[in-house]
Amino acid sequence: MVNHHRSTSGPLWSFLRHFGAQFDPVEDYSLPDEIVGSLQPPAATPTFQEPSMATGSKYKYTDIIFEIKGKIGIIKLNRPKSLNAFGGRLLLDLISALRELNEHPDTVFTVLTGEGRFFSSGADVKASVSQQAIEYATPAEKKIAFIANVGASAIELLRSMIDHKKVLVLALNGPAVGGGAAWFEGVADIVLAAEGAYLQVPFSALGLVPEFGSATAFSQSMGVHRANDMLMFGRKMSVEELEKWGMVNRILPKEDFHHKVVEFLEQQLDVNDGKSMMEAKRLQNLPLRRDRLLAVYDAVDALAERITEDAQKKRFLEKSRLLNSKSKSRAKL
């Protein structure tokens, strides 16, 4: 259960700037440098269903790919060169697409996935580095500015997923780090993952806190102690391990992963009534909604306090001094 100390303030992001920047994803799953931060009627033949024709959106999106295949809506993060980091218009596009599919009269599933080798690396560190530092007159002013600049889009994204009426399917096409690992997994209804993917959230190493209600949502999925191992200690978790812990439903082959996700969901639609599945989702999530929303706001407030204290900067300096000291000691040998 979440701690109901009802904070009304909000959001989170500057920390992301200091976040992925230290890490670079490699095949051995070590922490990432690039991140320094609905029964269907039978088809034409009785043995299998014809592929659904894809249709697009009524809006123009720049940083996501949007399509609808029969009763399946698909949102694909589309900034592969930056490992689908949260830059450009990605978050705004994602919020708009979730709203569009939430109101769509025919879809049952909403799939969230990524283009390229990563699902998401979280913060767009490269875009953040070039931003000029701002001096604030008081800590209160600094906290308010952080909440105003970061909170609106991030909180609305989490609320959009928590309140989404369709069955929300997270399809992890590859690794997810930081916000990419923390924001989506705990609130998704179904998690499908490609072989070899992993999650990692090094918040404590960066002097930060588990983001946007992940401490509560992850605990609801896999238990407090396991959630602490991942969120508190920052341990990198393979999807194979997460499947055993109840955080991932199924692992699918990496090759042609997106097609296999659609194929799997179409099989469910062949067997199960779409409205029934959506009602099952609603009844499952109804008693969890308040706690999850409160957890988002509580985490935003805690993050804003850490940013106001310059905790991530102090942590960076501390680690830098330690590394320099070790380097000097080796030089004397």
Q: 227 in a domain, yes or no? A: yes
Window from 99-108, 191-200, 230-239, 322-331 with minimum mean pLDDT: 322-331
pLDDT for position 332: 63
Q: Which of 320, 14, 330, 19 is nearest to 154 (CA)?
A: 14
Q: Which two tokens stand for residue 110?
A: 């909403």
pLDDT at 44 exceeding the cut of 60: no
Model pLDDT for residues 98-120, shown as the tens digit of each residue: 999 999 999 999 999 999 999 99
Classify residue 32: in a domain, yes or no. Answer: no
**Containing structural domain, residue 189:** 64-259+273-326
Confidence of residue 308 (pLDDT cuts 50, 70, 90): confident
Q: Is 23 part of any domain?
A: no
Which pLDDT score, from 0 to 100, does residue 13 have?
38
127 assigned to some structural domain: yes
Specify the CATH number for the domain of residue 170: 3.90.226.10
Q: Is residue 26 part of a domain?
A: no
Percent of the chain with pLDDT over 70: 77
Instruction: Give per-residue pLDDT as tens, 168-199.
Output: 999 999 999 988 888 898 899 999 999 999 99
In this predicted structure, what is the pLDDT of residue 6?
Answer: 42
Would you say residue 137 lies in a domain?
Answer: yes
Burial of 130-149, coded b for 16+ CB within 10 Å and e otherwise, reads: eeeeeeeeeeeebbbbbbee
pLDDT of residue 3: 45
Does any domain span residue 75?
yes
Q: Please tell me the total count of domains within the chain.
A: 1
- pLDDT value, residue 53: 53
Whether residue 36 is contained in a domain is answered as: no
